[in-house]
Amino acid sequence: MTANIIDGTKLANQIRSEIADGVQELKAHHNITPGLAVILVGNDPASAVYVRNKQRAATEAGMIAEDIKLPAETTRDELSATITSLANNDDIHGMLVQMPLPEHLDPVFAIDKLPASKDVDGLTSTNSGLLVGGRPRFIPATPAGIQQMLIRSGYDPNGKHVVVCGRSDIVGKPISLLLIQKQLGANATVTICHSRTHDIETITRQADILIAAIGRPRFINSDMVKKGAIVIDVGVNRIEAPERKSGYRLVGDVDFDGVSEKAKAITPVPGGVGPMTIAMLLKNTLEAAKSYVAQQ
Ligand code: GUN
């Protein structure tokens, strides 16, 4: 069997076009242009690429994209002042602090400073609490993108056994909470595995839908996958590739070549979950701008 490739770029383009229509409508009827601010602290090269991609996508959807680059030695107070200034700026409806932050800055401190109404990453206690309570407002973009990918490519998680590998606050936990909800496009039975799980392959082999978000290159091999499973690869790992000009290439958490012989469908890296994440961030930003309009 050779797996169907779930084309994240194509699905994301559909969503981005729907969002662009929503942006035009907001402009035409309310004279409001959604504004997204992304704060990047330091010089992490992968983060710089992510931020550039987010900014480009926001601009293409007709939004205002503000990119705030702060030096690596930015202090806690300086970061705090930047967040507060954007929180008070009426032209900015969605904002996020790109992670990881430099070592000396506490990510929890930064997240706690974000106003929940502009927290388009869905990481504040308010927004993660609303997801736990089954009435989500801003769902973190990667989990939201995975759910849309499953629905739009015809692999509804309803009643399926989903195994999530990874327990991060940004992917593992929220995707699990999202897919157990009593709602269309969810209703799954979810098992969460992580670095301390014993005999992980016995569990992953039970998955109808396997979500790999561990951050270890090609960790999931074909022996860990049930025949006919749907495999979603969230990993973005840089590995050395001397033959390339950049000196590296990106691989996922799944051994794509081996697993695609066994799975029914699989997401590629790049071109899978990544573009969906950006599309859902824009969706959250549009929703934030709509909420702003509704409160005027
Ligand atoms: N770093 C990697 N992914 C993300 C994300 O979705 N949001 C933020 N803020 N930082 C990230």
Q: Do residues 90 and 157 both lie within one domain?
A: no
- Catalytic-residue membership of 183: no
Give yes or no for residue 96 CB within 6 A of ligand 1.
yes
Domain extent at residue 86: 31-115
List, in order, residues 6 or more apart from 133 with CB less than 8 Å away: none
- 90 and 181: one domain? no
pLDDT score recorded for residue 159 = 98
Indicate the pTM of the whole model: 0.97
Element (H, E) at 258: helix 256-259
Residues 82 and 42 in one domain: yes
**Residues 104, 217 within the same domain:** no
Q: Name the maximum alpha-carbon separation found in the chain.
A: 56
Residues 51 and 172 in one domain: no
Ligand 1 pocket: which of 52, 99, 113 to mutate (most atoms <8 Å of CB)? Answer: 99
Indicate if 110 and 181 belong to the same structural domain. no
Determine which residue's CA is closest to atom 9 belonging to ligand 1: 98
CB 208 near ligand 1, within 6 Å: no
- In tens, the pLDDT along 60-114 reads 999 999 999 999 999 999 999 999 999 999 999 999 999 999 999 999 999 999 9
The whole-number pLDDT of residue 191 equals 98
Structural domain includes residue 17: no
The minimum-distance atom of ligand 1 relative to the CA of 97 is: 9
Specify the CATH number for the domain of residue 231. 3.40.50.720
Q: Is residue 5 part of a domain?
A: no
Annotated catalytic residue 54: yes
Is ligand 1 within 6 A of the CB of residue 284? no
Residues 106 and 145 in one domain: no
Q: Are residues 165 and 265 in the same domain?
A: yes
Domain boundary residue, one of 115, 130, 157: 115
Per-residue pLDDT, 129? 98
How much distance in Å is there from the Cα of 68 to the middle of ligand 1? 15
Note if the bond before 270 is cis, omega within 30 degrees. Answer: yes
Say if residue 258 is in the same domain as residue 162. yes
**What is the model's pLDDT at position 154?**
98
Tell me if 98 CB under 6 Å of ligand 1. Answer: yes
- Ligand 1 centroid to Cα of residue 166, in Å, is 15
In the chain, which residues have pLDDT < 50? none
Question: Is residue 170 lining ligand 1, measured as CB closer than 6 Å?
Answer: yes
Residue 67 lies in a domain: yes
Residue 179: partners with Cβ closer than 8 Å, 6 or more residues away? 147, 157, 162, 186, 187, 188, 190
| Catalytic entry in 55, 118, 119, 121 | 121
Q: Are 234 and 212 in contact (CB under 8 A)?
A: yes
Taking the centre of ligand 1 as the mean of its atom positions, its distance from the CA of residue 240, in whole angstroms, is 23
Is 18 contained in some domain? no
Look at the chain and report how many structural domains it folds into: 2
Phi-psi domain of 175 (left: phi exceeds 0; alpha: psi -120 through 50; beta: other): alpha
Q: What is the CATH number of the domain that holds 106?
A: 3.40.50.10860
Backbone angles phi, psi at 250, to 5 degrees: -100, 130
Question: Are 105 and 146 part of one and the same domain?
Answer: no
Q: Say if 129 falls within a structural domain.
A: no
Same domain? 103 vs 153? no
> Is there an atom of ligand 1 within 6 Å of 255 CB?
no
pLDDT of 178-189, one tens digit each?
999 999 999 999
Q: How far, in Å, is the centroid of ligand 1 from the Cα of 98?
A: 5
What is the rounded CA–CA span in Å between residue 188 and residue 208? Answer: 10
Question: Are the C-beta atoms of 266 and 6 separated by less than 8 Å?
Answer: yes
Q: How high is the pLDDT of residue 30?
A: 98
Output 125-130 pairs: Cβ under 8 A, ≥24 positions apart: 128/169, 128/173, 128/174
Question: Which pLDDT does position 188 carry in this prediction?
Answer: 98
Per-chain mean pLDDT for the chain: 97
Catalytic residue list contains 77: no
283 within some domain: no
What is the 3-state secondary structure of 143-188? HHHHHHHHHHCCCCCCCCEEEEECCCCCCHHHHHHHHCCCCCCCCC
Q: Does residue 128 fall inside a structural domain?
A: no
Could you identify the atom of ligand 1 that is nearest to the CA of residue 140?
A: 6
Could you count the other beta carbons within 10 Å of the beta carbon of residue 182? Answer: 7
Is 15 within a domain?
A: no
Q: Do 50 and 158 fall into the same domain?
A: no
